[in-house]
Amino acid sequence: MVTEANETTTSKSMRTRQRILDAAAAVLSRKGYAGTRLSDVADVAGVQAPAIYYYFGSRDDLVEEVMWAGAHHVRVHVEETLAALPADADPLDRILAGVEAHLRYELEISDYATASIRNAGQVPEHLRVRPAAEEGAYSKLWRDLFREAQERGRIRPDVDINVVRLLLLGAMNWAVEWWNPRTRSLEDLVRSTQDLVRHGAGAA
């Protein structure tokens, strides 16, 4: 029988677990895999370091969860953005909306996305399996966007959409390493990236 006290305890436990995950994402996004210590995560989360092992079996288990969440959440965010567009939205406009959603989520909304992107090449291979599945689904989303736009004449027929897609995703992800809001606004970055797609691959 589930009592009110049990529900309260479970709710508190879930909040603590989420707080630890949020802290790990923040630390990973700044210090990287090699520089992340559980003591740092505990300090940010406001818990004792040994308490982390109640929720995660190891440091790598915690890191894997952050990496997966980063890949999963950015995919869901872009999917929700696209779903909110009119059903008859121009296919090129759908790509441009996806560009803005990706950049804003990565650079303004979520430490998870930043942590996932920055540490993709740092974590051991066994920690990449679950996040890689999410990344594969996300890549397919963009492949479908570009294919539809080209089939409907909104992307030039001579454009290799697989190359453009990979270059675009790589460029957007790399922005976490160089973008500085003090020297360039996010709005300018979004607009420039959209122009790159519109004028670099879009049909006249």
- pLDDT at residue 54 above 80? yes
- pLDDT at residue 51 above 60? yes
Instruction: Give me the mean pLDDT over the 148-163 stretch.
Output: 96
According to the model, what pLDDT value does residue 104 have?
A: 94
DSSP 110: -
Q: Please, which contacts does 184-190 make with residues 24 or more away whose CB atoms are closer than 8 Å?
A: 186/103, 186/104, 186/107, 186/108, 189/103, 189/107, 190/99, 190/100, 190/103, 190/104
In the three-class reduction of DSSP (H, G, I as helix; E, B as strand; rest coil), residue 115 is classed as helix
pLDDT tens digits, one per residue of 62-102: 999 999 999 999 999 999 999 999 999 999 999 999 999 99
According to the model, what pLDDT value does residue 113 have?
A: 86
Q: Which residues contact 76 (CB under 8 A, 6 or more apart)?
A: none
According to the model, what pLDDT value does residue 5 have?
A: 46
Residue whose token pair is 């996932």: 116
- pLDDT at residue 178 above 50? yes
- pLDDT at residue 6 above 60? no
Phi, psi angles (nearest 5°) of residue 156: -55, 140
- pLDDT at residue 3 above 50? no
CB 24 within 8 A of CB 63: yes
According to the model, what pLDDT value does residue 9 have?
A: 59
Domains of the chain listed by start with CATH number? 59-200 (1.10.357.10)
Share of the chain above pLDDT 90, in %: 77
